[in-house]
């Protein structure tokens, strides 16, 4: 049936969401194996998504046929993620493991020539991210796509198309809001930069088509609802190579819901996305709409499109979407952002010479 056989490393919140997506929604692929440091979690997910308990996408994708007889397809659990990556019956890999494990796992995917969709961050620092870029380049083909899913969101895609059309003139400013209802007590100040703000880093680079050359992270008085020492919210300013600027407010303990907005200000007008989802109502002396509880609801369609396009491109022997270089550039900006978070001062972003690295 020419289906891509997918293995997923890391089945926490994001990995489990992708596993459901492959099992229930995505055409041209089937989930073969999962691996997670929490063996019990992996086994529970595999049992639920194995045929007969998951519901399936269709009769064809939920039951394979041999000699006219249907038989159940079982998702297996692989204890060692390196064994999953190397397995002969795995065509492509989704990495949703913790960021500190990505470098080793990405090098393994490159070694075994396995296309990989890697959730951000590419790696935990710019130096290791650059080594990944260099290793992939030596292979002569792109195998890595980084999971910056906002590029696939219909609203962001429409905004990108509008700005690229030139109808509004040059884009001068970008204003971003990124708020979560709450974050775990273990979600520290540095993680706000590396794990949350990184999305705006990528979006600014993508919408402007320019690199970020300097970042300043400001820390207003923190909310009283976080642990001592956590700096939340944060306000960052990006300076772009072409002189444009972007700002972002990241507030991960907003208490209300998940909210992402983006306004682009250009020479002849502005455009805003993220003003609301669902039905806007006026009733009972109130007006408004629903606010999603978390990122999986707000960006469900973006994730669906991202994974389906990755599957389709991989089946053609191609890889589109954000590249390893995009992951490296984001890591370099976040690294500078962490320094700015510590010092309160602007920090220049230092990138390797792209032309020398990639030719």
Superfamily of domain 150-296+328-348: Dihydrodipicolinate Reductase; domain 2 (3.30.360.10)
Are 122 and 130 in contact by the 8 Å Cβ rule? The answer is: no
Residue spans of the domains in the chain: they are 4-149+303-322, 150-296+328-348
- DSSP-based three-state secondary structure for 4: strand
Burial zone of 2 (CB within 10 Å; 0-12 exposed, 13-18 middle, 19+ buried): exposed
Q: Where are the beta strands (DSSP E) in the chain?
A: 4-9, 29-35, 64-66, 69-71, 76-77, 92-95, 116-118, 144-146, 171-179, 212-218, 234-240, 245-251, 259-266, 269-273, 277-283, 286-290, 347-348
Strand partners, 272: 263
pTM of the model: 0.88
Going residue by residue through the chain, which has 359 residues, state the pLDDT in tens, using 9 for 90 and above.
Answer: 589 999 999 999 999 999 999 999 999 999 999 999 999 999 999 999 986 444 455 434 433 333 333 333 799 999 999 999 999 999 999 999 999 999 999 999 999 999 999 999 999 999 999 999 999 999 999 999 999 999 999 999 999 999 999 999 999 999 999 999 999 999 999 999 999 999 999 999 999 999 999 999 999 999 999 999 999 999 999 999 999 999 999 999 999 999 999 999 999 999 999 887 554 555 567 766 667 778 888 889 999 999 999 999 999 999 889 999 999 999 999 999 999 999 999 999 999 999 999 98
Q: Compute the distance between CA of residue 204 and CA of residue 264 in angstroms, rounded to an integer.
A: 10
Same fold, 4-149+303-322 and 150-296+328-348: no
Q: What is the CATH architecture assignment of 4-149+303-322?
A: 3-Layer(aba) Sandwich (3.40)
Distance of CA 275 to the CA centre of its chain: 21
Q: For tokens 């038989």, what's the residue? A: 71
């Amino acid at each position: 049936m020419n289906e891509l056989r997918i293995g997923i490393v890391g089945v926490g919140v994001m990995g489990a969401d992708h596993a459901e997506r492959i099992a229930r929604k995505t055409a041209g692929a089937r989930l073969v194996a999962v691996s997670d440091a929490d063996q019990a979690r992996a086994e529970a997910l595999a049992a639920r998504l194995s045929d007969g308990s998951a519901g399936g996408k269709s009769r064809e994708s939920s039951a394979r046929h041999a000699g006219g007889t249907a038989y159940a397809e079982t998702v297996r659990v692989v204890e060692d993620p390196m064994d999953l990556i190397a397995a002969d019956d795995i065509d492509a890999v989704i990495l949703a493991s913790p960021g500190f494990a990505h470098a080793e796992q990405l090098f393994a995917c490159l070694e075994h020539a396995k296309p990989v969709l890697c959730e951000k961050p590419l790696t935990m620092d710019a130096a290791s991210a650059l080594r990944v870029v260099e290793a992939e380049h030596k292979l002569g083909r792109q195998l890595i796509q980084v999971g910056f899913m906002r590029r696939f969101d219909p609203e962001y895609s429409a905004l990108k198309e509008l700005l690229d059309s030139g109808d509004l003139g040059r884009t001068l400013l970008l204003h971003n809001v990124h708020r979560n209802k709450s974050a775990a007590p273990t979600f520290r100040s540095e993680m706000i930069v590396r794990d949350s703000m990184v999305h705006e880093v990528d979006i600014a680079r993508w919408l402007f088509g320019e690199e970020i050359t300097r970042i300043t992270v400001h820390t207003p008085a923190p909310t009283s609802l976080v642990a001592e020492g956590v700096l939340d919210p944060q306000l960052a300013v990006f300076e772009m190579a072409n002189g444009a600027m972007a700002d972002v407010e990241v507030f991960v303990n907003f208490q209300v819901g998940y909210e992402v907005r983006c306004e682009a200000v250009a020479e002849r007008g502005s455009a805003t996305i993220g003003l609301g989802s669902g039905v806007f109502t006026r009733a009972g002396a109130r007006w408004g709409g629903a606010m999603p509880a978390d990122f999986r609801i707000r960006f469900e369609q973006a994730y669906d499109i991202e994974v389906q396009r990755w599957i389709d491109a991989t089946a053609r022997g191609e890889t589109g979407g954000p590249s390893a270089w995009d992951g490296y550039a984001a890591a370099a900006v976040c690294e500078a952002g962490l320094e700015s978070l510590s010092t309160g001062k602007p920090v220049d972003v230092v990138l390797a010479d792209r032309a020398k690295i990639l030719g």
